[in-house]
Structure 1
């Protein structure tokens, strides 16, 4: 156990530094949002105080940036430190009782994380990546269906980094006790969004300015290939629901809600993508948790899914629709 703790800490620090530095300096290529973040850092640096900052970014992210730039750090280091911190949170959240189980978990997680998430989040959508990491920590470590204030506070902090994370609190407060609840809740959310989205998106930009940008983009693709694979994985996870532990059940519920948001917001491509991307954290939670579930059938289809999804998403973000230039 002591060896696992030491290796866990060392690996968390190593990947945090490596990915954080790569993200901060955009070594793999420059993302679409990178210059916007650098401009925002300069804006914060020029503000007389925190309350003088007038920008659409969330207050939690703004507070972290304000503290870092006033510590005398340049833009590249600010980005690197934020990216490194959220990578560290992900890796330190993963644990196991013995070295073999930890090694297998880290291997699967690292492949899936590097191939699917790093370019999308740490390299591109930094605010969303902060919320994603906090959600990963809370739900991967959740060992009871009850409410714990520390977990709830972490999810509230996630909302302070990206407003879309409010849906995580909704998921947290639901107990996915059976397959019926896990199907009914996403269906109910889908219907509610379809009925209310036009009215909501009329008034939300007046309260939260970032929502004003989402109407500028057109319709999302109904069934992109990566989503088809995710749907198949969700169907298998739902089929094996009764064999899943609490963490895996929350993950199945979260995946279902990701599809509900995607299909309900199909006319608003960016908004649909933001919720779908954030809620894909539950696919990562499920994949990581599977290693310790002891069910060989679930392990086999999860490993196949991880390999296919990783390779497809790697192709998408680097070749089909590259996020880095």
Structure 2
């Protein structure tokens, strides 16, 4: 990705003044999320973690209220990074608990993707606010190890350890003593690129100028159906095997317009990243965390046009409304 001719550096950022009004506002939005989540539990008839252990025919795809669930995912992600930020500035543990609550909730509804997004964004907020580089490196290593282990545990619970091993087909040289998370991470990093290269072997004969495969997941499901029909778009492209169904952010643009689609998508991604990265005011630290996550995870999925992720920009603007930039100090994070 490119950011035109500006140096890509953290530099000085405008930090958010933590007021009691803001704290109360964060918790009001948390209560909104909690109330809607309760309605989702009722509407779904339970939660996926219970279905898993009771042998129910339902799975995590059956949870949530259509068109609402994605917006709530975006809200919890926004509150998660806001909560962590407030904790780092004020040391009030209730805000760290807020972020941790979202992490546990995603384990309950078996949504690893949202947890991964939250972890990456929280990490980037931590990076922006850290000054002790040695401590930063140590914490990165420890956090990465814990993430890999937990990612494997969640994956084994959702798909079954034996079933995944049969699909992954590790060679005899693979060290069996490693936690399963290492194999999960290795497969998740390599299979999207493999799927993308496999998609390139199929020529695109009919260009779709409305970009249904690229843009469809940007809209709530009921709007998506009106624009693109009941089937929506194909975000995965051609797959080597259906078990590994992610093909990076570039698969859907290729499905729409071939290599021209990839070129147009790359131009958009670079321009949008430039605008977001250099935005002014108190939203910069949060916008940078979101866009960094989008870029990092683009190896797996197109989060630029994925409502549960991209709508975070809107939620951040709503939550931080009425906080004027000129009233806040511009200081270097420590």
Query: If the length of structure 1 is used for normalisation, what is the TM-score?
Result: 0.35
Larger radius of gyration: 2
The structure whose RCO (Cα within 8 Å, separation 6+) is larger is 2
Greater fraction of residues in helix: 1
